[in-house]
Amino acid sequence: MESSNTTSLKLRRPSAALLVALVALPVYAEEPKAKTPAALESVLPEVKVTAPEIRESAYGTVEDYRAERTGTATKTDTPIRELPVAIQVVPKEVIKDQQATRMADVIENVSSVRPGSTFGNRGDSFIVRGFQSQFSARDGFLSNQLFGDQGFIDLANVERVEILKGPASVLYGLGDPGGLVNIVSKRPLREAQYQLGARVGSYEFYRAEADLSQPLNADGSLALRVNAAYQDWGSFRDFFKRSRRTFVAPVLGWQPSASTKVLVDFEYLDQELPFDRGLVAVGAGVADVPHSRYFGEAFSTLDLSGKQGRYIVEHQVSSTWLLRQAGRYQESEDRRFSADSRGLEADNRTLRRQASEVRGDASQWTVQLDAIGDFTRREIGHKLLLGVETGKARRDLSFATARLASIDIYNPVYGARPGTFGAPRLTGQEIEYSAVYAQDQIWLGERWKLLLGLRYDDATQTTITTTTRSTTVQNSAQETSPRAGIMYDVTPWASLYTSYSRSFKPVAGTTRSGAPFDPERGEQVEAGIKADLLNRRLGATLAVYEITRQNVTTRDPADLTQSIQTGEQRARGVELDIAGDLGSGWNLLASAAYTDAVLTQDNTFTPGNRIQGVPRYSGSLWATREIRGGDWKGFGFGAGVFAAGKREGDLNNSYQVPGYTRADASLHYRSDGWRITLGVKNVFDKEYIESPVSRTEVYPGAPRTVSAAVEVKL
C-alpha cells in the first residue's frame, strides 16, 4: 500500500533455518472423525482427552451460557476445567440477549476486565488485571503489534469472545501482561441457513445484519458463509456528524477428505466516526458539565478502512499427529483531521486546543506452523504442541499540527478553523520477529494435570523519524517466555491449580546515552479453584494472582526530556466467575473482582499511586429466563447489574472518578424462524464515567438507551 507521507523501512529477512523449519517440522494428526450433520468441522484441532462427554467444540456454538472447551489457552481444543489457567468465555447467546453492539459491552461480563481508551473514538482497548492493552487476537492471530486492531471490532461474525488472564507470550509472542482477548469467528455450516436482522434504537441508531451460509456441494463439505453489517447512528454526545460502519466477512470452508480441512476467510471494515476524547478533569474530579458536552469542531473526524485475509489448512497424517499451517495478512488506512484538547488554563475553564492532521498506514503478515501430537491414550497422557511462527508488522505515520482557538468548557462557542499546518513529522516503525515454541499438556493418572510451555522470540523493532533530519533507532530482543501450571482434582467436581507465566514487549526509543531500551517484561503467579456445579451445568472459577510489570519507561531525573527504564508496576487480585444453566430455563453469568494495581517504582510519579482506570472493586450479574413450555413458550427476559468502584484518572492520581452501578434489562420472544428482542441499557439513567485515561481524555458512559431488534430465518 502506498501513502503520500510514509517512510520506507527495510529489515532483515527470516533466517534460512527458520524457513527450513517451516517446511520440515514434524507433523501430527488425530484420528479421523465422522462428519457432523449440521456444522462444518472447525479447521482448528479437536483433540478429545479426558472429558467424559464432549458437548461442544472450542470453535463452535456454545450451548446456553457456559462454554466447556477453549482453543485460546493452549491452541488445542481442551476442556477449560482441565487447564491450570483462568480463562472465561462470553458466547454469542449472551451478546444477543444483552443487545451488545460494542466489544466494551461484552468484556464487562468478565472479572477484572474493563474497557480502556478508544484513542479518540478509533478502536478498542482493554484493561485486563490492571494493565491496558491495545492488542487482541482474531482466531489465534495477534492484531498489529504497532497499531492494535484496525478499528472497532464488529460483532456480526463473532461466535464467542475468550479472555485468557495473565501473560500470553508463550503462545502469542509480544504482548501486555494482563491478558489477551481472543475473538472466535463464525464458521461455515453444512446446511443452508439464511438469517437477516435489523435493529433500531435511541439517538437514531440503525443497524442491519445478514448471516448467510450455503453449502456448495451435495454433502456440504464445501460451504460458504457470509456475515455482513451496516450501522448508522447518532450519539448522546453533541457531535456534529453521525457515525457509520460497514462490515463484510465471507468465509469458505472445505473438507476434501476425512483427514484434510481448509478454511479461508476475509474481513472488510470501513468506519467514519467523529473524533472524540471525551470530557476533561477540573481539580480533583471531572468538569461539572453535561456528559453530552463536546470539545471538538464540525471538522473533527476519523476515517478508517481495513481488510484482512486468513487461511488455515489442517492435515491428519496419522492417528497421533496433526499438522496445521496458517497465515494472515492485514492492512489498514486511517485519516484524522481533528481538534485535540491540550489542557486547561489557570482559570479552569479555558481549554487549549490544537488542530491535528494525521495520516497512517499499517500492515501485518504472520505465518504459523503447528504440530500437535495426541498421546492421551497411554498410561501417562500427553498432548504435545510444537510450533514456529514468523511475521512482520508495519506502521507509517504522518503527523502535522496547527494553531486552533481555545474553547470555554462551560459556555462553548464552535466554529474555529485551523491555522497553517507546519511540516509533518514522519515516523516509520517495523517489527520483524521469528519464534519457536513447545507445549506439553500432561495427564498423570486420574487426578494430576500439568501444563508446560516455552517460547523463544527473536524480535527487531526499527523506528525511523523524519522532520528536518532523519534518525533511526533499532531495538532488538531475544526473549524466552515460559509457562508452567499444575492442577489436582480434589473431587470429581472440583480442582485446585497454580501456575506461573511471563510476557515481553519491545519498547521503542533510547536512553539519554543512546542505548536502546530493553523490552518490557511481565511475570505472573496464580492459584485458583475450578468447580463444576449442578451436574456440570454451572461452572465457577476462583483465582488469586500477582503480576509484576518491569522495565517501564519513566522520566530521566538527569534530563527531563529523556526517559530511562526504572519503572515497575504491580497488580494483585482476587476474581470469581460463574457461568451456566440454573435449570428451568434460567441462565446466569456473574463476576466479581478485587484488584490492587499500583506503581511500585517510578521517577515521574509517586510509588504507591494507583494505575488509572482500575477500580479496587468491580463485578457484574446477568440472568435470563426463557419459558420452554405452555402458552408462554418462547417468551424470555433478562436483567443485570454492572458495577465498578472509584478509579484514579491518571498515573499522577491528580483526580478521581466515582464508582457506579448500572442496571440493564431485556425482553424477547422467539418462535420458529424469528425472534424479537427489546433491550434497555442503563435502566435508571445514571450518569457515570466508563473509562478515565488522562486529564484531557475522560470517556463518559451512555445514558438510558432503548433498542429493538428483529431476526428472521428464511
Looking at residue 379, its pLDDT comes to: 66
Integer angstrom CA distances of residue 624 from 59, 267, 455: 24, 32, 42
C-alpha 336/C-alpha 136 separation (Å) is 23
**DSSP SS3 for 24:** helix
Q: What is the pLDDT of residue 425?
A: 93
Cα-based distances in Å from 271 to 56, 301, 332, 420, 429: 35, 11, 11, 28, 24
Phi-psi region of 52 (alpha: psi -120 to 50; beta: other; left: phi over 0): alpha
pLDDT of residue 565: 82
Closest CA to 141 of 420, 338, 328: 328
- The predicted pLDDT at position 378 comes to 60
Q: Which residues of the chain have pLDDT under 70?
A: 1-55, 377-379, 468, 560
Residue type, 442: I
- State the Cα–Cα distance between residues 200 and 209, nearest whole angstrom: 12
State the cell numbers at 268: 472488510
Share of the chain above pLDDT 70, in %: 91
Residues 75 and 140 sit within 8 Å (Cβ to Cβ): yes
Please answer whether residues 334 and 310 qualify as being in contact, where contact means their C-beta atoms are separated by less than 8 angstroms.
Answer: no
Coil, helix or strand at residue 648: strand
Q: Of 585, 702, 679, whose CA–CA distance to 633 is shortest?
A: 585
Residue 42 has what pLDDT?
39
Instruction: State the Cα–Cα distance between residues 497 and 543, nearest whole angstrom.
Output: 9
DSSP per-residue codes, 609-629: PBPTT--SEEEEEEEEEE--S
Query: Do 55 and 63 form a contact (C-beta atoms < 8 A)?
Result: yes
DSSP β-bridge partners for residue 548? 523, 570
* Residues sharing a CB contact under 8 Å with residue 601, sequence separation 6 or more, in sequence order: 554, 566, 567, 568, 607
Helix (H, G, I), strand (E, B) or coil at 131: strand
CA angle 432, 172, 694 (to 5 degrees): 85
Distance separating alpha carbons of residues 229 and 208, to the nearest angstrom? 6
Which helix (H) or strand (E) covers residue 506, if one does?
A: none
Distance CA 292, CA 297 (A): 14
Q: Would you state the pLDDT for residue 403?
A: 97
The CATH code of the domain at 16-713 is: 2.40.170.20
Cβ–Cβ under 8 Å, residues 393 and 364: yes
Q: How far apart are CA 87 and CA 497, in angstroms?
A: 13
Q: How much is the pLDDT for 263?
A: 97
The 10 Å CB-count burial string (b at 16+, else e) for 264-300 is bbebebbbbbbbbbbbbbbeeebbebebebbbbbebb
- φ, ψ dihedrals at 92, nearest 5°: -65, -25
Q: Which three cell numbers stand for residue 587?
A: 441462565
Paired sense of beta strands 179-185 and 137-138, if any = parallel
Q: Are 594 and 600 in contact (CB under 8 A)?
A: no
Phi, psi for 295 (deg, rounded to 5): -110, 15
Per the CB < 8 A criterion, the answer to whether 359 and 303 are in contact is no
Residues 6+ apart with CB under 8 A from 186: 157, 158, 159, 211, 225, 227, 251
Cβ proximity of 95 and 229 under 8 Å: no
What distance in Å separates the CA atoms of residue 651 and residue 653, rounded to the nearest whole number? Answer: 5
